């Protein structure tokens, strides 16, 4: 959330039981039973909201107050290179407008969960490794899509707690430095290059059990995602799906994004 931004919080399914709620920052205004308006604090950073429904498991909303885009000077924020977003959005699509703010990341925030199975640090741009704080953009729609895919992967017998993310957010500066597309969804925090790595070797696992890791292992992940589309499980989350085969410096992976319309490609 941006500083001072307001959102409504509703707790459902409690059958009228008491719900305790506490914000570590910002302001909570009661609007009714199980219903509040939350105003984000002015200070950037993590501000958890604790929710404790009587007779139910407690919940935590990890609210992050962003640094407004206007704070950027000469293409940088506190020495962290951001670069410049395109002056005009692609085909006039508002999802390609410059983000309104950036999430400020300190080392202590790397393990903050943005969903049950993903953390902020997994999506961080790979530039300036020793520079802190860092800044990133991350879209909730991408996280929701990855959770759906992860659940289906596990349901099909491929046991993994999360996806390894080869590339998540990229600043415009870094995206340009590696020669990537000007309008890559990575730049807007809406894309992730994922693979399954349960043995921790930094490469895709041998999913088909043929004793080697190649594009056919990534194809298994693509097929699972395509099945979710066919079954309507991702009907409200259309986006890009790309297949990438191995290269000398990395293993195969799958690109997933939440651009709002379907796109398909393959580089085997």
In this model, does residue 15 exceed pLDDT 90?
no
Look at the block and give the residue holding tokens 């009228």. Answer: 16
Confidence of residue 96 (pLDDT cuts 50, 70, 90): very high
**CA atoms of 267 and 253, how far apart (whole Å):** 10
Mean pLDDT of the chain: 96
pLDDT at position 68 = 95
Residues 163-176 have a mean pLDDT of 98
Q: Name residue, tokens 């909303």.
A: 61
Q: Please state, in angstroms and as integers, the Cα–Cα distance from residue 217 to each residue in 23, 127, 152, 195, 209, following that order.
A: 44, 28, 16, 9, 9
pLDDT, one tens digit per residue, over 143-157 is 999 999 999 999 999
Q: Is 21 helix (H, G, I), strand (E, B) or coil?
A: strand
pLDDT in tens, 106-126: 999 999 999 999 999 999 999
Residue 22 has pLDDT above 90, yes or no: yes
Whether 196 contacts 163, CB under 8 Å: yes
Residue 3 pLDDT > 90, yes or no? yes
**Strand runs (DSSP E) across 95-213, as ranges?**
101-105, 113-115, 118-119, 134-136, 164-167, 191-195
Per-residue pLDDT reduced to its tens digit, 50-76: 999 998 899 999 999 999 998 888 999
Q: What torsion, rounded to 10 degrees, do the Cα atoms 29, 30, 34, 36 define?
A: -30
The whole-number pLDDT of residue 55 equals 87
Residue 14 has pLDDT above 90, yes or no: no
pTM more than 0.85: yes
Residues in contact with 214: Cβ distance below 8 Å, sequence separation at least 6, in sequence order = 245, 246, 252
**pLDDT at 16 > cutoff 90:** no
> Residue 39: CB partners within 8 Å, gap ≥ 6?
4, 5, 6, 26, 27, 28, 29
* pLDDT of res. 30: 95
């Amino acid at each position: 959330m941006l500083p001072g931004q307001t959102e409504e919080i509703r707790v459902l399914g409690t059958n009228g039981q008491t719900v305790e709620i506490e914000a570590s920052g910002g302001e909570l205004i009661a609007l009714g039973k199980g219903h509040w308006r939350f105003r984000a604090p002015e200070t950037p950073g993590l501000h958890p909201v604790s929710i404790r429904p009587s007779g139910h498991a407690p919940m935590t909303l990890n609210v992050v107050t962003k640094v407004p885009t206007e704070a950027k000077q000469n293409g940088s924020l506190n020495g962290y290179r951001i670069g410049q977003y395109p002056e005009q959005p692609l085909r006039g699509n508002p999802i390609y407008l410059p983000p309104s703010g950036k999430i400020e990341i300190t080392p202590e925030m790397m393990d903050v969960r943005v969903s049950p199975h993903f953390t902020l640090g997994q999506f961080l741009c790979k530039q300036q490794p020793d520079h802190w704080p860092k800044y990133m953009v991350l879209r909730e729609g991408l996280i929701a899509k990855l959770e759906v895919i992860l659940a289906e992967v596990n349901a099909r017998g491929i046991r993994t707690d999360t996806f390894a993310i080869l590339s998540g957010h990229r600043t415009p500066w870094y995206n340009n430095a590696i020669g990537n597309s000007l309008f890559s969804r990575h730049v807007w925090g809406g894309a992730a290059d994922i693979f399954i790595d349960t043995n921790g070797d930094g490469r895709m696992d041998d999913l088909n059990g043929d004793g080697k890791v190649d594009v056919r292992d990534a194809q298994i992940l693509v097929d699972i995602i395509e099945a979710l589309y066919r079954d309507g499980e991702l009907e409200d989350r259309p986006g890009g799906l790309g297949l990438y085969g191995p290269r000398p410096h990395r293993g195969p992976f799958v690109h997933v994004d939440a651009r709002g319309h379907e796109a398909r490609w393959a580089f085997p």
